[in-house]
Chains A and B, each alone.
Chain A
C-alpha cells in the first residue's frame, strides 16, 4: 500500500524507523519497509543432535528402568515366598558392600578413613532405625485390601519413573553441583512410599525389614552409584547397563513370557524409537529472537 511517486517533482524523504514527529510524509501508517523483521534471528540457540549420541544417552534411562524392574521382581518373589528372608538379607549385605566398593573405586579424591567411618556409622543408624520400626510397617496396611495396595503401588512407581531425574542423583554425590529439584524429590518420596506399601504385605518382621532395607538401598543409592560409574568411565557405564539389561530380561523371562515381551518392547522404545523420533521432530523447531525480547541480566541476583 505504498504510493510510488516515481517521477514526482519532490521525492518523498527516506522512511525512518522512528515513532516521533507524527505521520511520516509520503508514507501511510501501515507502510512496511524492506527492513521489516530485519533483526529477527531464527533458531539461534538450537543444538543439532546426533542420533548415536542420543541413543547412548538414552541408555541411562533404560538402565534405570531395568533397576526398577529388578526391584519389582524381588518384591514379587518375596510376596510369592520363593525368596526367603535370609537370602534377602544376604542380598542386602552384598548390595551394600558392592555399592561401597564401587564408590571407593570410582571416587577421584581419596576418601579418608574418618569419612568412611562416618558413612558406616550413618548406615548402621539407618539400619537399626529401620529394624526398630519394622513392626509398624508390618501392620500399617492391614485394614486395606490388597487390590488397593497393588493399584497404589503401581501408580506410585509410575509417578516415580515419570518424575525421576535421569541425568543426576537426588542424593547429592560428593562434588556434584546441581541441587535436587522439586520433581526429583517427589519421585524419590513416591518410590519410598511404594516400598513401604509392598513391605506391609509381608508375613514376618524380618521379611519386612529385609525388603524395606533392600528397596531403600536401591532407590536411595542406585542413582548415586550409577552416576559415579558414568562419571568414572562411559565404557564401563555402557557395559554395566547392558549387563543389567541382560540380567533383567532373563529374570523377567523366567517369571512370565508376556511381561518379558512388554519389557523388551519398552527397552527398544526407549533406546531406539524415541531417539529417532526426537531427531525427526527437531526439524520443526522454530525459535524466534529479536529486539522485542526481554533483556537477560548478565549478573546473578544474590538476595
Chain B
C-alpha cells in the first residue's frame, strides 16, 4: 500500500513550535513538504513549559519534546554528553538515516550532531544567521561551529552572503555548502481582495523592537517622513525594549494619530495587519535572509529595506527599494517607493512570488543535499579525529579528546543497552502518503 520512506530525517533544533520565529517556521514547512514527498521526518527539540514528550503535528510529523529545560534564550543547557542516551534512543527507534541540525546558536543541535557523527549517521547542518568575528561571544560561537562542522557531510545556508559568512567562520570548503533559501507560504499570505485606498499611504512595520532590528532607525525615520508627507501613516507591530523610545518619539512629535502602535502581533494575525498597508518597511541592521520581506511581498506590499546581509538577494529589484542604514537614505528610499506605488499591482506581485519561492522547491533541493550526504563515505574514528586536529593548536586536541570520550560513552551505552533492545517505532502513514503527486 504505502512504500517505505526513501529518507528518514531527524530535524534537531532548540527552536520549534510553540516558539515563533524564522527557524521554527523553516523546520515546520520543510518537514511538511518532505513528508508530502514521501520521506519520514521526525523533529527533536527541548520541552516548552509543560509540553514534554512525544506530540504529533499535521501530516504525521512526530515531534520529540525532550525533557531538558531551556536555560538562556530558549537554548538548552550545554552538558556535552548528557543528551547522548536520548539521541541514541531516538535515532535507533525511528531508524533515522540523516540528521539535520538547525541554527548555530542551538546547543541541542550541536550536541545531537556530535553524537550522530559518533554513531556513524550522516549529518547536515543549516545555518540561519550571520555572525561577526570581533566580539567575545562571536569568537566562542565560531569555535563551537568549527568543531561542529569539522566532520559534517553537507551544510546549507539560506543566502549567498550567509554562505560566505559560514565558510569564513567555520573553515569549511565552499563546495560542501549549499545555498537553499527560505520560502514563504503564499497560500496563507494573499493580498487583500480590495486594495486599500492610496489617498492615505500606510507604511507597515512588523518586527521585534530591538537594537538589532533597527528600531533606532525607525525612531529617526518616522518623524522625517511624517513631516514630508502629510498623507502617510505608519502602523508598527511588534514589541520589545525599544518600544519606549518609539512611544517617546510619538509624544515628542505629536504623531499619535499618524503612528499606530499595535504591540505584539501573533503570527496568525500578521497577514491581516499587512493587508492594511501599501509599503512594508524593514530597518534591520543585520539579516541573513529576511522572511518578513517575503511575507510582505506575497501580500502585495512594496518593500523598503536596509541593504544589509542577504537582503539584496531576496527580492527582484522591482519589488524592493534598498537603502543604506542611514536615516536620510531611508527617507529617500521611502520617497521613491511612494512615487512608484501607483504602478504596483498586488495580485501580480503575489502571483510572481508564487513562482519565485515555494517550500516544495526548497524541499526538493534539500532532498538533493540529503542524497549527496548519504553518498559520502563512512569514516572510522581515527580518520575523523584527524579532521578535528586541524581546528587549532590547542582546540584541535581538546576536540579530539571530546570526541574520544563521546565514542567511549557510546560503546558503554551499547554494552548497557544493546542496539537490538531498543524498540523500533512503527511508521505511521497518513492516507495521502502513498498517492503519487502528478
Indicate if the CB atoms of B164 and A40 lie closer than 8 Å: yes
Indicate if the CB atoms of A23 and B365 lie closer than 8 Å: yes
28 sample A-B contacts, Cβ–Cβ < 8 Å, listed by A number: A17-B313, A19-B160, A19-B179, A20-B316, A23-B365, A29-B368, A30-B154, A30-B178, A36-B163, A36-B164, A36-B174, A37-B167, A40-B164, A290-B168, A292-B130, A292-B161, A292-B165, A292-B286, A292-B288, A292-B309, A293-B132, A293-B286, A294-B130, A294-B308, A297-B216, A299-B220, A299-B327, A303-B245
In the assembled complex, the CB of A281 is this many whole angstroms from the nearest CB of chain B, namely 15
Q: Does B51 contact A (CB under 8 A)?
A: no
With both beta carbons as reference points, the residue of chain A lying nearest to B310 in the complex is identified as A19
In addition to A18-B316, A29-B180, 8 A-B residue pairs with Cβ atoms within 8 Å of each other are: A18-B313, A32-B174, A287-B134, A288-B133, A290-B168, A291-B164, A292-B132, A303-B245
Q: Does B84 contact A (CB under 8 A)?
A: no
Q: Does A1 contact B (CB under 8 A)?
A: yes
Instruction: Report the Cα distance A83→B245, complex, angstroms.
Output: 61
Instruction: Kindly state the interface size class of chain A when it binds its partner.
Output: 20 to 34
With both beta carbons as reference points, the residue of chain A lying nearest to B283 in the complex is identified as A295
Instruction: Report the Cα distance A28→B175, complex, angstroms.
Output: 10
Instruction: Kindly state the interface size class of chain B when it binds its partner.
Output: 35 or more
| Most B C-beta atoms less than 10 A away, residue of A28, A32, A298 | A32
Instruction: Report the Cα distance A37→B173, complex, angstroms.
Output: 13
Instruction: Report the Cα distance A293→B306, complex, angstroms.
Output: 13
With both beta carbons as reference points, the residue of chain B lying nearest to A286 in the complex is identified as B133
Partner of B369, one of A21, A29, A287, A299: A29
Report which B residues bind A (CB closer than 8 A): 130-134, 154, 158-165, 167-168, 174-181, 212, 214, 216-217, 220, 245, 285-286, 288-289, 306, 308-310, 313-316, 325-327, 355-358, 361, 365, 368-369
With both beta carbons as reference points, the residue of chain B lying nearest to A38 in the complex is identified as B164
A303 / chain B contacts, CB cutoff of 8 Å: 245
Instruction: Report the Cα distance A291→B159, complex, angstroms.
Output: 12
Instruction: Report the Cα distance A293→B285, complex, angstroms.
Output: 9
Instruction: Report the Cα distance A32→B155, complex, angstroms.
Output: 14
B164 / chain A contacts, CB cutoff of 8 Å: 36-37, 40, 290-292
Instruction: Report the Cα distance A144→B162, complex, angstroms.
Output: 61
Minimum-distance CB pairs A-B, first 6: A295-B325, A19-B181, A294-B286, A292-B165, A29-B178, A32-B174
Indicate if the CB atoms of B314 and A294 lie closer than 8 Å: no
Instruction: Report the Cα distance A22→B174, complex, angstroms.
Output: 20
Partner of A288, one of B162, B168, B285, B316: B168
Instruction: Report the Cα distance A303→B244, complex, angstroms.
Output: 10
A287 / chain B contacts, CB cutoff of 8 Å: 133-134
B159 / chain A contacts, CB cutoff of 8 Å: 19
Instruction: Report the Cα distance A291→B288, complex, angstroms.
Output: 10
Indicate if the CB atoms of B132 and A291 lie closer than 8 Å: no
A293 / chain B contacts, CB cutoff of 8 Å: 132, 286
Instruction: Report the Cα distance A23→B183, complex, angstroms.
Output: 13
Instruction: Report the Cα distance A28→B134, complex, angstroms.
Output: 33
B289 / chain A contacts, CB cutoff of 8 Å: 19
With both beta carbons as reference points, the residue of chain A lying nearest to B294 in the complex is identified as A20
CB contact under 8 A between A30 and B176, given known A19-B310, A299-B327: yes
Partner of A298, one of B132, B162, B212, B326: B326
Instruction: Report the Cα distance A298→B174, complex, angstroms.
Output: 34
A291 / chain B contacts, CB cutoff of 8 Å: 161, 164, 308-309
Indicate if the CB atoms of A29 and B161 lie closer than 8 Å: no
Partner of A30, one of B177, B212, B288: B177
With both beta carbons as reference points, the residue of chain B lying nearest to A303 in the complex is identified as B245
In the assembled complex, the CB of A28 is this many whole angstroms from the nearest CB of chain B, namely 8
B368 / chain A contacts, CB cutoff of 8 Å: 29
